Structure 1
Amino acid sequence: MTIRKRLTVLFTAGIAGLLLFFSLIIYWSLANDREDEYYSLLRHTAITKANLLLDAKVTPSVLQLIYRNAENTLFQEEVAIYDTSFRLLYHDAVEIDKVKETRRMINEIVAKKEIRFYQDSLQVVGILYAHRGNLYVITAAANDQQGYDKLRNLEYTLIITFFVAIIFIYFAGQFFASKALQPVSDMVDKVEEITATNLDLRLNEGNGKDEISELAVTFNAMLNRLEQSFDAQKEFVSNISHELRTPLTAMLTELQVTMEKERDNLFYKESIAHAISDAQKLVRLSNSLLDLAKANYDHTEISFKPVRLDEVLLDAQTDVLHNHPSFKVNMIFEKDIEDEQQIAVMGNAYLLRVALMNLIENGCKFSSDNECAVSIGYNDTLSIIRVQDKGIGISEADQKSIFTAFYRGENSEHSKGNGIGLSLSKKIVELHHGIIAVRSVPGAGTTFTISFPHR
């Protein structure tokens, strides 16, 4: 069932329930009023006849004649007058005797002063009437045909009105549900137009104050993230294609030249050495791409546990020196470590080591003496690592883009690389809720500062 139909049905059912409730209240209230009014009318008629009999001294036969000739007077009420000894003083129609009074009934009336009850379709009232020091028991019974006819007409009116109202309410509910959900329908139509080729389209956010507008704002925010992700993916694929094509083309060209004719052993060795160099570039690129992929994982897919930064830093130093024996890395502890919590973070040791290795390798590569200094310190809230070199530095223009994947700055001519290292390091640092900053003066060196919150 669609939301529109569900809203229509719920709206109709709710209003129908209210209408039914109020209809029953109206019917019950009028039925009670009719009953009370008719009992009062019976009582008044009974007392009037008693006064005619006892005060005006109208003979019973005359009263009976009036009873027989009256047209629709209370639909032929029947009045009987007794004394407290159950002696009948007057009866409208003894031969009919609808009520059939008994000694027990008379005693009940005397005890309770007044009783009311139904006898089949008749309403019956019995009262104890005091007149000039004497007590009389009067009963009156009649059928309120007019009252019942009015109730029946009211019942028919309420039923017909109820069903007509339900039909009207159903179509009104459909109309209002359609109007209420029109923004959703427009949103669906707009969403159907959005594909991977036109992610720049956005939903109308309306007045920005209701739930539909909030949904549109949220959806547009999601589209912004998707568009950025798609753009980054396209740029990433384009850059990878370019980076892979260069060493592959060099390898292919080298091998093709070697295969053209017979060469001496020295030429073959040089050719193989060039191919190995290009293959090593591909290996480094592949490893960097794998690390970058790991850094882009959902946090829930990465194992985090307490890690000491000094231990990770020493492992990174060892790996860098193993891969590049000519590099020199100076470790500096700015403060004595009294509590391991001062340099501990919740993190992934492998990714942190990769980030630090990239920074240390960059520092050594861009220094003329292949040397850099790595210091670790802390304050009340942060653990701080600095990687400092005295190399060629980074221009102010390049500093704005050095953390972009595959970006190669002006100083790239001084060292080989694929432009992934700094981008990867930044992603890893941010994954650990840290901050990485760079300060560099061309010709005087560069300092990268990483701050991690304490565990």
Structure 2
Amino acid sequence: MNIKSIRFRLTILYSLAFFIGTVVMFVIFYIVTKQTLLLQTDQELTVHAEALANIIVNGQSNMMTGVFNQGVITQQFSEMPGMLVAVSDGSGKISTSSQQGAQSDPIIKDLLQKSSMIVKPVFVDRTIGSTILRIGVFPVSVNGSTTGLVLMGDPIEAIYHSLNSLLVSLFIINLLFFIPALIGGHILARKAMEPVSAISKKLAKITSDNLNERVGVLKTSDELEELAMTFNSLLDRIAQAFQRERQFIGDVAHELKTPVATLRGGIELALSKKRTNGEYTQTLSGTLIDVNRLSNTIRNILDLAWLGAENANLGEHHFDISTTVTELRDIGEKLAAQKHIAIQGDVEPNIQVVGVEDKIYRAILNVIDNAIKYTPQDKTVSISLFKKRKMAIVRVKDTGSGISEKDLGHIFDRFYRGSKTAKTVGSGLGLAIAQGIIQAHGGDINISSTLGKGTSVVISLPLYLAV
């Protein structure tokens, strides 16, 4: 098994979780068992201590003078060999004891010195001689005041021996359980990773030739179902991107094929026999038109390539868009003069925007060129620039025939030509490129149109705010 695999890590996590869980459970069991055994011992000591205290309080011994009826005490506990039985007077001195050495123990000595302060039983584990005892220190009260202490001790070596045996047994059991836990963890991890392995194998079989294949989605309502759906969504987007790429390549090939074929035909015709100067001039004029068309197509392709690249540093550039729009208006007037179209609109001065000037210049020029191209003779085109909130707004409005609702939904598609534009020279890339450039600069472009009245294009770009 690969130790770096998720399956291996899940196996280890399952096993460790089980191991730690059993350790915690066994520790709790050990503590509870120990406390239960000690509590039983404490209860037995309490019973014996109360019996001795009754003897003292009933006058069979004198706590204050230290005079005790040793025979009574001996008779009371003769059947419990090995127990510690001791009585302390009010001064903290042990007056009688069944075992020697109890008073020399530092803990007991400290308790005896504080005998007047002890109001409830105190239990400690101490070693007296060579014996481990559970010792209970019990106050003896006469008329509401503590007059002495009764010490009762019971050997608990057997308890600790049993606890040690229990601890070893629990440790061995835990180790024995760890092996099945490891196997079970491996099985669970393998079961959990089976859907992931299935997804991985399916994805490995998907290439550019079968992008229609999809990952099987298990209706488990969990993260695995979500993962499979996410992969399928990704495959959908990749398939769409491949389809657009194929469509784009086909459209570009078509756009290049026509002018190249025309160029070739014109040149072959010119070379087929001697021509007059006028015929050569006519051929060269047609060739120049086709070359310009080729140049525009290549420039459009370069713009599309720029849009597909990372443009992370666009925010570092800024320029005066007022000057740019003014220049574009002058170009628009020259283009419109051939059709006697009047250019209207105002340009607000000194507006700075963020972005690369030549790219935005190209985007706005595409929009102006479209507006003039589809506006009939003797009509008007409005080109204006103004600020609104934190955006610069460029509005280009024509008075042409307008765009149908059907065509408006595809107006930004690459190589899309509307039903009314089929006879107009163009590649169908202008608005698609304009939209891509504007959006790459953090702006937006919107088109509204009314059939028979014209079309309005609104471009918004973020203003440059000097720090």
Q: TM-score band, normalised by the shorter chain?
A: 0.7 to 0.9
Give 1:248's aligned residue.
Answer: 260
Picking from 406, 414, 421, the partner of 1:405 is 414
Give 1:122's aligned residue.
Answer: 132
Contact 1:254–1:271 (CA under 8 A) maintained in structure 2: yes
How far apart in 2 are the matches of 1:112 and 1:141? 19
Give 2:381's aligned residue.
Answer: 373
How far apart in 2 are the matches of 1:430 and 1:82? 96
Distance 1:352 1:276, change over 3 A: same
1:122: how far off?
A: 3.0
Q: How does 1:350-365 map to 2 (within 5 A)?
A: 350-365=358-373
1:121: how far off?
A: 4.1
Contact 1:363–1:372 (CA under 8 A) maintained in structure 2: no
How far apart in 1 are the matches of 2:175 and 2:255? 76
Give 1:77's aligned residue.
Answer: 82
RMSD (Å) for aligned C-alpha atoms:
4.8
Give 1:434's aligned residue.
Answer: 445
Give 1:94's aligned residue.
Answer: none
Deviates more, 1:245-254 or 1:78-87: 78-87
Aligned: 1:20 with 2:23? yes
Distance 1:45 1:235, change over 3 A: same
Give 2:246's aligned residue.
Answer: 234
Deviations 1:116-160 (A, max 9, x none): 521334326487898x9xx99987776445424432442233223
Distance 1:145 1:324, change over 3 A: same
Distance 1:201 1:103, change over 3 A: closer
Aligned: 1:220 with 2:220? no
How far apart in 1 are the matches of 2:353 and 2:279? 53
Structure 1 stretches lacking a partner, 5+ long? 92-96
Distance 1:315 1:218, change over 3 A: farther
How far apart in 2 are the matches of 1:43 and 1:90? 17
Deviations 1:308-364 (A, max 9, x none): 665433222234456787466633236x95x977xx765544333223322332333
Picking from 202, 210, 233, the partner of 1:190 is 202
Corresponding residue SS for 1:28: helix
How far apart in 1 are the matches of 2:88 and 2:294? 126
How far apart in 2 are the matches of 1:394 and 1:47? 107
1:78: how far off?
A: 5.8
Q: How does 1:14-163 map to 2 (within 5 A)?
A: 14-35=17-38, 37-38=40-41, 41=44, 77=82, 99-100=100-101, 111=113, 117-119=126-128, 120-123=130-133, 125=135, 143-163=155-175
1:202: how far off?
A: 3.5
Q: How does 1:278-427 map to 2 (within 5 A)?
A: 278-298=290-310, 300=312, 302-303=314-315, 310-320=322-332, 326=338, 330-333=342-345, 346-367=354-375, 369=377, 372-376=380-384, 383=393, 385-390=395-400, 398-412=407-421, 414-427=423-436
Corresponding residue SS for 1:408: coil
Deviations 1:64-87 (A, max 9, x none): xx98xx9xx7xx626677897999
How far apart in 2 are the matches of 1:224 and 1:128? 83
Letter in 2 for 1:30: T
Letter in 2 for 1:27: Y
How far apart in 2 are the matches of 1:104 and 1:403? 97
Corresponding residue SS for 2:344: strand
1:366: how far off?
A: 4.1
The percentage of counterpart residues that share the same residue type is: 20
Contact 2:368–2:396 (CA under 8 A) maintained in structure 1: no
1:29: how far off?
A: 3.5
How far apart in 1 are the matches of 2:167 and 2:365? 89
Aligned residues: 430
Deviations 1:236-261 (A, max 9, x none): 10011111111112222333344445
Letter in 1 for 2:259: P
How far apart in 2 are the matches of 1:180 and 1:257? 73
Corresponding residue SS for 1:434: strand
Structure 2 stretches lacking a partner, 5+ long? 62-68, 116-121
Contact 1:358–1:425 (CA under 8 A) maintained in structure 2: yes
1:408: how far off?
A: 3.5
Contact 1:81–1:88 (CA under 8 A) maintained in structure 2: yes
Contact 2:371–2:398 (CA under 8 A) maintained in structure 1: yes
How far apart in 2 are the matches of 1:8 and 1:181? 11
Deviates more, 1:222-231 or 1:203-212: 203-212
Corresponding residue SS for 1:300: coil
Relative to the length of structure 2, the TM-score reads 0.71
How far apart in 2 are the matches of 1:416 and 1:13? 73
